[in-house]
Structure 1
């Protein structure tokens, strides 16, 4: 590839009406997370919309390197507002990379790749189709709820006390 330089990239655009989740609410907030997006900005915007009751559902979308950030934003918002219903879908989008030759006589190279995309629908209101793949529900449980721990000895694990790390005399200076 030393005889080529990278030209343009052509990416398939994400569109609101092509989100692969069935029965999307009519009025939802669509948060498109990018690699350079600031989580604080994303979360403050989404929180403001939900607090104002302008929308009761949010769709987080992230592609490629933005997927972990989209997941983190969704999890933080879910805990902040105890959102009970969630649907997660994974898809792909096409990207074409064009490589231009540095030397005469070589042909242009086109590399086609698929980049993963995640869509996370979170809804305060109940979702119509709870049988679709990727559906999760809290079923009335609240996050950070303290669970009772059983004192049954069969459920308890025994841990052996570990000896502290000893350094060899040659390692001590």
Structure 2
């Protein structure tokens, strides 16, 4: 590849009408997360919309390196507003990389890749199709609660009896 330099990238854009979730609410907030997006800005915008009650559903979409950030934003918002319904879909988008030759007589190389894409629908109101793949609800489940134990048993202390590992110097006889 030393005889080539990287040219342009051609990639599919994410489109609102191509989100692969059936029966999306008519009025939903679509948050597109990129690798360089600031989580504070994303969460502030989405929180403001939810607090104003202008919408009851948010779709978080991201591709490639933005996926972990989109998941984190969705989870934070889900806990902050006690959002009980979620649908998650994984897809991909196509990307073509063009590598241009440095020398005459060589052809342009086109590398085709598929980049993972995630779409996470969070809904305050119940989702009608509960059979859709990727559907989750927290109805009847309690997350993030502490159980108080009142037993008088002492915690297992067997780990305290072990001595830390020490390197022993090898003694060489000369």
TM over 0.5: yes
Number of corresponding residues? 166
Unpaired segments of 5 or more residues in structure 2? Answer: 170-174
Q: What CA RMSD, in Å, does the superposition of the two structures yield over aligned residues? A: 2.1
Displacement of 1:128 in angstroms is 1.1
TM-score for both structures, normalised by structure 2: 0.88
Aligned to 2:18: 18
Tell me whether 1:167 sits opposite 2:166 in the alignment: yes
Query: 1:19-41, CA deviations, whole angstroms, 9 ceiling, x for partnerless residues?
Result: 00011000000000000000000
Is the CA contact (8 Å cut-off) linking 1:79 and 1:143 kept in structure 2? no
Residue segments in structure 1 that go unaligned for 5+ positions in a row: none
Identify the range of structure 1 (137-146 vs 108-117) with the bigger mean alpha-carbon deviation.
Answer: 137-146
Q: Report Cα offsets for 1:43-76 as digits up to 9, x if no partner.
A: 0000000000011110000100000000000000
SS in 1 for 2:158: coil
Residues 53-107 of structure 1, C-alpha deviation per residue, up to 9 Å, x if partnerless?
A: 0111100001000000000000000000010000000000000000000000000
Moved more, 98-107 or 134-143: 134-143
- Tell me the distance in 1 between the aligned counterparts of 2:46 and 2:33: 12
Larger Rg computed on CA atoms = 2
